A and B are shown apart, each in its own frame.
Chain A
C-alpha cells in the first residue's frame, strides 16, 4: 500500500497542475480586456499619480522613485490578500469533486501575482534610471527580498483562504484590514516620519517596525534607492515574515480536511 507522499514531493509531481492554474488565472484576468497585461502596470501607475497629487497637497517629504517602489511592492501584497479570500470558494466544485493538494489553489494565486510583480519590477528597473536613480549593486538583494515577500504573501493567502471557507465574513474584512494596514505602512510616506520622531512615545517605533511589510519595504528602498536600512529596528519585522507564513500554513493544514464539508 502506498502512503500519501510528502506535500513537497506531491507539489513537485503536480508542478504542471500548478502551472496550469497560474495560466488559467492570468488568462481569466485579462480575458476580454483590450489592454490585457498592460493593466497590471497601468493600475499601480495611476495609483502613483493619485498619491503624488495627494502627497503634494499634504506636503509630505517623498519622491517619485520612493512612491513607485512603495506602490509596486504594496500592490503585490494587496492583490494576494484580495484573491486569497475567494480562491478556495471560487473553486468549490473542484474541491468537492476532484482530489489534488489543496494548497495548489492559494499557491497558484500567489504565483500568478508574483509573475505580475516581477514584470512590474523589470519595468521599474528601466524607469528608475530615467528618474535619475542609477543602478547599484544592492539591486542584487532583490531575489532574496522577492522570495521573502513571496513567503509572506503565501502565508497571508493560506490563512485567509482557509478561514473564509468557514467564516465568509473574512472576505468583507479583508479590504478594511488592508486599508488600515496600508496607512500604518510607509508606502506613500517615508519611514523617517516615524523613525526617531520626538512627538511619538518610543513604543510606537517598536510597533511600527514589527510590521513585516514595513521591514520589507525599507529593505526594497534600500536595495533600489540606497535608503538607510536600520537593521536593528527591523529584525522583528523580518521574523514576522516567518511567523505569518508558519501560522498561515498551520491554519490551512488544520482546516483543509473539512473544506469539502463546508462548501
Chain B
C-alpha cells in the first residue's frame, strides 16, 4: 500500500512583522516615513522563520511551544489568514480552521442565524447547514436558547455553539488553535469522541494546545516551536519532554530573580536538565517529590580538584539552600573535555511556589570558572490544603 498523500506541505516558511514604536499609522506618520526613507526606524521581528514540514492525510500533528513561539502565526499562515513573508504553504483538500472560537459570530443575531452565518464563513452551503442543523444544536445542548441572540449567551454556551458548528463542517483538514480546552468536562469528552471519529475517517488534524495530556493522547507527531523556529519534530512523548525542558531552561526575562552568568570560562556549564524519578524531564513538581539535576560541562583544559556548586533561591532572590561538592565530601580529582555530573534532590521541602536554581564550577579556593545564577526553575504544586510555603512532616496525635 502506498503512503497517504500529502495534505499540508510547508516549506521554508517565514513571517516578518514590523514593530511600530507608536500606535497606528496615520497619513502623518506615513508621510514622515516616506520622507525619511532609508533610515529604518521600525524594528523587524521574525515571528516564524525557516519552518518546513509535511503532514500526510489522516495524520494528526500537534504544535507546541511557549507563548510567542510562533504557533498561532504558523496556523494563521496555513489557514491563509496571514500572508507569508517567505516560503510557501501548499494544502490539499478543504480546510476548516478554528483559530478562535466564535470568530464571525454576531452578538445581535440569534443562535440559529449565527449557525448559518458561521457555517457559510467556514465554507458550507445553506442546504448542508440546514441538513446538519439539528445535530449541531443537539451537540451544543442549546435547544432551548437557539432562537435567542447570542449576546445573551454565557461564555460557555457561546463556545459550545461555535465548536459544534466547526465540528459539523466536515472538512478534509481541520485546524484547531487552543480550542479543545473549552466547556465543561462532559462537553470536552464529547469533543474528544468526535475528534476520534474524525481521525478514524482519515481526516487530517493540526492542533495547537498547551494541554500536554491532549497532545499526548491524540497526536501522531508533534512539532516543538521556540522563538519562531522548529526545535524538534518527533513522537509526542519526546516532544512533550523537550517542551518541558525549554520551559525549564528558558525563563522569559523579567520573571523571577535576575539570571546572570560569569566566570573565567576555562570550564563551562553547557546545560542543566531536571528529571523526575521516572527520568522524564520536568519543571513542575508535586510537594514532597524529588528531582535530579544533570549538569553537563566542558573543560577546555585539565582542571585539578574542581568544585561544583548548587544554590536554590525563591522568587525574591533569597538564598534558601546552598551546597557544593566540597561541603558534601564529594571529591572530583580532575575534569577535562565533556562530561556530566548529577545532583539528586530526594524531596523538595516546599509545598508551593517557584524556585530558582544556580549552578557553578569553581576551584577549591573559590576562583569561579563558570557560574549561572538562576538558570533554571521548578514550580512546586501543593498536594493538600496545608497553608504556607514549606512542607513539614507533621502528624497529629490524639491522646489516649
Contacts and interface: CB of A to CB of B under 8 A. Distances in A.
Given A1-B91, A93-B100, A262-B25, 6 more contacts: A1-B6, A95-B81, A98-B103, A99-B97, A169-B27, A260-B83
Contacts of B9: 1
A1 B95 CA distance: 13
A43 interface: no
B121 A100 contact: yes
A175 to B, nearest CB: 16
B81 A16 contact: no
Contacts of B120: 14, 16-17, 20
B27 A97 contact: no
Interface stretch (B104-112, B224-232, B303-311): B104-112
B76 A260 contact: yes
B90 A1 contact: yes
17 contacts: A1-B6, A2-B91, A2-B93, A24-B117, A27-B113, A28-B108, A94-B103, A96-B100, A97-B99, A97-B103, A98-B104, A99-B81, A99-B97, A100-B121, A167-B27, A169-B27, A260-B76
A253 interface: no
Contacts of B79: 98-99
Contacts of B109: 24, 27
A125 to B, nearest CB: 32
Nearest to B126: A16
Contacts of B91: 1-2
Nearest to B94: A2
Contacts, number: 84
Interface string B14-42: 00010000001111001000000000000
Given A2-B91, A16-B126, A93-B100, A98 B121 contact: yes
Contacts of B6: 1
Dominant SS at the A interface? helix
B122 interface: yes
Contact of A97 (B100, B113, B125): B100
Contacts of A97: 81, 97, 99-100, 103-104
Contacts of B17: 261
A257 interface: yes
A56 interface: no
B26 A260 contact: no
Nearest to B23: A168
B81 A166 contact: no
Nearest to B177: A97
Closest 8 CB pairs of A and B: A97-B103, A257-B83, A99-B80, A97-B100, A17-B120, A97-B99, A169-B27, A20-B120
Contact of B24 (A16, A93, A168): A168
Nearest to A170: B27
Contacts of A20: 116-117, 120-121
